Amino acid sequence: EADIYQTPRYLVIGTGKKITLECSQTMGHDKMYWYQQDPGMELHLIHYSYGVNSTEKGDLSSESTVSRIRTEHFPLTLESARPSHTSQYLCASSESGGDGYTFGSGTRLTVV
């Protein structure tokens, strides 16, 4: 039973469109993260948040933005999608001082 939810599961969208990938968790975790992962490749951190109204960029340069208005919700927005954004996007959360991350099922994005 998933406690962290990502929608949509799959998305095919045209170049130039604005999209928002949703991520919600019901565990009350303070910390949330967005990763990008291409098939068979490593995870790249693109954004993270340690609490409401706190967001930071990760190691991977990204044209996306995030917001954290509520503890349980951490959406990621691409203002203008490009084919280079085609990838899997994984959301994760953890407690402060907690024992590792819980990952969502991911959103597989294809930009055509």
Partner 1 sequence: QKEVEQNSGPLSVPEGAIASLNCTYSDRVSQSFFWYRQYSGKSPELIMSIYSNGDKEDGRFTAQLNKASQYVSLLIRDSQPSDSATYLCAVDDKIIFGKGTRLHILP
Where along the sequence are the contacts to partner 1 (CB under 8 A)? 31, 33, 35, 39, 41-43, 45, 48, 58, 90, 94, 99-106
Instruction: Determine contact, residues 3/25, Cβ cutoff 8 Å.
Output: yes
Q: Which of the 8 DSSP states describes residue 108?
A: E
| Least distance from partner 1 to the Cβ atom of residue 70, Å | 21
Q: How far apart are CA 111 and CA 85, in angstroms?
A: 7
Q: How far is the CB of 66 from partner 1 (least distance, A)?
A: 14
Closest to partner 1 by CB, 78 vs 104, is: 104
**What is the smallest separation between the CB atom of 104 and partner 1, expressed in angstroms?**
7
Q: 1: which 2 tokens?
A: 């039973």
Q: Which is nearer to partner 1, 2 or 82 (CB)?
A: 2
User: How close are the terminal C-alpha atoms of the chain, in Å?
Assistant: 33
| Choice between 38 and 79, CB closer to partner 1 | 38
Nearest residue to 18 (alpha-carbon basis) of 67, 82, 69, 73: 82
